[in-house]
Structure 1
């Protein structure tokens, strides 16, 4: 009998199975491709709504037109972004909101390390063409560029970008990503009679899911012994949790929805092209350290006009401290020293370093 006659004919059932499997795979791949196109176009359009690269001069009609140059970012060197949280309550249209929080996120594209600095808002510094003043007044004197220049001079860094949002923008971001699970370290209560008690603080100690309203209460609370010092630490710790949540696959998929939710509350000077580059850098980076500026050891308490301000004992030491911090990575364990056996002959002992 020939080999051909020994072969069993393929059954129509098997042919139909392979046919439907091929069709199913084609549908899945086609849907994936369509979603990728939709996601890319949607995110690009959402980013385009944010982009205001030519509107960097002033958030206030009263701010003076201070010609402050803004450094360019080529995409390969360190990039520094000033993050401003504003308190716009009681502010008329066209007026500048108070800088309730000032942070600087510094990214190294080579090492993929990010460092977060929170600047105490009452820090007393030199403001170009305006003498000395609290650092949070720079934005009202000369708009975003002067605020960037003032903060950059303090840290010894070129700040290329700013991102500004108010209370409602922060709440919207947290709500859209589904809240943040966080361990609130103590009970927090404060009655704020402004805006019909809309921003009262009432938090219980313990691990819990914070929605936008509760998260805002947590990062705003400063009514304890250390006031703004502990508040800025809480803000840095909370923002680390938010950044990790935004890096999750699920939130990357939902990025268009997230961007759309916060767009009405955000002001920035980042172009779409740079936003895409920064987004890729952010996903690949990890937070290597967070710190307060000025650090406690460089604070010199002072009074100006009868009011308390935060002075700096040595500005050069402060900038050296920033550079030293940028070299650190708190996520890498420190080497430990392990004693070696003593030399019985000499009676001496040595130590070895274990990574």
Structure 2
């Protein structure tokens, strides 16, 4: 009888130990998660100095929003080599929904023929050379009825450094053929693991069969892979250095709270896989030549506005290749 009593008491102790052990593990996890988020917040506050600003451009007048609204961030990569009127090499819009935590990416082809306020019919990237991010924002709003709230313009040197920090072991890509012209490096055909400088050349190269279309596909591919690399504890540890790179190489009006919110969703995988889209979509444009502008894409704006809204509402196929 005593043995039976002891056996019951031992089983109770084991159950309580298991419960206590589970509670302890949950507590450690929650404390660790809080510590990570607190680390991110403190890092942003520490490094949140005034960022590099463009000179001689119009003040950015992004659309008004509140914390519950979806936001659109104009992402730019400039091909400037010191010119006063540089054109932008990359035009994208990152769409973030704080309710669903989803992040979507829209690529805009720079040779689209659009109406640029005050300058008539021009290629899309000419808007940047005429008036910087603000005039480009106005142009996108006028032609595609898309509100832009923030902008972030990345210096190419900053892109290289950020890639090497986020993905120190490189990013694997499948190069369809040799790439070298105009990118200051040589990339061999086949599967390659590329680091900062080489990866920059990969996303900038456009002297191929698909021209700018192929370049946009590569840009979306690389950004998606970099996002996957960013989902790790190692990326959290590297955050202060990443923000330091932003301070030096990124011109933006994004506030620290927005950066923190989006960063949390990426690190905790709440944002899920990156959905991508391209303007103009397939079947909605024609190749034309215009005197003084050269080769352009003549766009059906009604069709593209409708497709864009469906993509943002989640009612369309994510990628138009």
Per the TM superposition, whether the score is higher than 0.5 is yes
- Map of 1:72 onto structure 2: 64
- Map of 1:340 onto structure 2: none
How far, CA to CA, are the matches of 1:150 and 1:101 in structure 2?
15
How far is 1:85 from its partner?
A: 0.6
Matched, 1:180 2:170: yes
Preserved CA contact (<8 Å) 2:88 2:129: no
How far is 1:69 from its partner?
A: 3.5
How far is 1:210 from its partner?
A: 1.3
- 1:28-78 deviation digits (Å, cap 9, x = unpaired): 9xxx899986664333222x12557xx6xxx342x5x4x774212312121
- 1:182-222 deviation digits (Å, cap 9, x = unpaired): 22232323244xxxxxx423112333321101111110111
Using the TM superposition, name which of 270-279 and 318-327 deviates more.
270-279
Preserved CA contact (<8 Å) 2:37 2:264: no
How far is 1:246 from its partner?
A: 1.5
SS at match of 1:176: helix
- 1:264-285 deviation digits (Å, cap 9, x = unpaired): 1110011222322332344421
- Map of 1:17 onto structure 2: none
- Map of 1:196 onto structure 2: none
**Distance of aligned partners of 1:160 and 1:36 in 2 relative to their CA distance in 1, 3 Å threshold:** closer
- Map of 1:45 onto structure 2: 46
How far, CA to CA, are the matches of 1:155 and 1:98 in structure 2?
20
Preserved CA contact (<8 Å) 1:122 1:136: yes
Q: 1:189 aligns with which of 179, 182, 185?
A: 179
How far, CA to CA, are the matches of 1:329 and 1:313 in structure 2?
19
Preserved CA contact (<8 Å) 1:124 1:309: no
Structure 2, gaps ≥5 residues long: 1-27
Paired residues, number: 285
- Map of 1:85 onto structure 2: 77
**Distance of aligned partners of 1:248 and 1:153 in 2 relative to their CA distance in 1, 3 Å threshold:** farther
Preserved CA contact (<8 Å) 1:180 1:241: no
SS at match of 2:186: strand
Q: 1:120 aligns with which of 109, 112, 116?
A: 109
- Map of 1:245 onto structure 2: 229
How far, CA to CA, are the matches of 2:36 and 2:176 in structure 1?
44
How far, CA to CA, are the matches of 1:131 and 1:179 in structure 2?
47
How far is 1:88 from its partner?
A: 2.0
SS at match of 1:224: coil
**Distance of aligned partners of 1:159 and 1:287 in 2 relative to their CA distance in 1, 3 Å threshold:** farther
TM-score by length of 2: 0.79
- Map of 1:342 onto structure 2: none
**Distance of aligned partners of 1:96 and 1:281 in 2 relative to their CA distance in 1, 3 Å threshold:** farther
**Distance of aligned partners of 1:167 and 1:83 in 2 relative to their CA distance in 1, 3 Å threshold:** same
How far is 1:243 from its partner?
A: 1.3
SS at match of 2:179: strand
Q: 1:272 aligns with which of 256, 260, 270?
A: 256
Preserved CA contact (<8 Å) 1:123 1:311: yes
**Distance of aligned partners of 1:320 and 1:312 in 2 relative to their CA distance in 1, 3 Å threshold:** farther
Preserved CA contact (<8 Å) 2:43 2:240: yes
SS at match of 1:317: helix
- Map of 2:195 onto structure 1: 211
How far, CA to CA, are the matches of 1:161 and 1:312 in structure 2?
27
How far, CA to CA, are the matches of 1:140 and 1:310 in structure 2?
17
How far, CA to CA, are the matches of 2:37 and 2:107 in structure 1?
37
Which has the greater radius of gyration? 1
Preserved CA contact (<8 Å) 2:230 2:266: no
TM-score by length of 1: 0.72
**Distance of aligned partners of 1:307 and 1:281 in 2 relative to their CA distance in 1, 3 Å threshold:** same
Preserved CA contact (<8 Å) 1:181 1:209: yes
Preserved CA contact (<8 Å) 1:162 1:268: yes
How far is 1:112 from its partner?
A: 2.6
Matched, 1:146 2:135: yes
Structure 1, gaps ≥5 residues long: 1-27, 193-198, 332-355
Matched, 1:104 2:90: no
